[in-house]
């Protein structure tokens, strides 16, 4: 496992952006879909990347944590500066696409 450096918010953002653009495939790994969660966590897998996303008040709020295929980890605690959360880096369109795709995921 590579623990030399934590994942940056920018690295995780790029993976989420790729999903929104349709160049990566995402699958749900949690028991509930995003549409079934009003407040709470949802896990997803994207080409070996494992993400935990948090939904608040019916909308995607932030990325709780992420593990890359090489074993590096990033979390809300490591993305301490305001605005560095990967979800916050998404454009409005990218975020809408990601939420739509998350809502459509089946187990």
- In tens, the pLDDT along 84-95 reads 899 999 999 999
Domain ranges of the chain: 9-104
User: How much is the pTM?
Assistant: 0.87
Whether 100 contacts 61, CB under 8 Å: no
Residue 54 has pLDDT above 60, yes or no: yes
d(CA 98, CA 100) in angstroms, rounded, equals 5
Best mean pLDDT range from 19-23, 27-31, 32-36, 75-79: 19-23
Q: What average pLDDT does this structure show over 43-58? A: 91
10: nearest Cα among 60, 101, 102, 83? 83
């Amino acid at each position: 496992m590579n623990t030399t450096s934590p994942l940056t918010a920018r690295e995780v953002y790029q993976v989420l952006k790729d999903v929104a653009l349709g160049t990566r495939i995402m699958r749900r790994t949690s028991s509930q879909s995003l549409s079934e969660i009003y407040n709470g966590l949802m896990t997803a897998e994207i080409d070996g990347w494992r993400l935990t996303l948090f939904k608040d008040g019916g909308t995607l709020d932030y990325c709780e944590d992420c593990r890359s295929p090489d074993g590096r980890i990033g979390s809300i605690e490591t993305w301490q500066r305001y605005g560095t959360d990967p979800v916050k880096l998404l454009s409005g369109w990218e975020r809408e696409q990601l939420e739509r795709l998350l809502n459509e995921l089946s187990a």
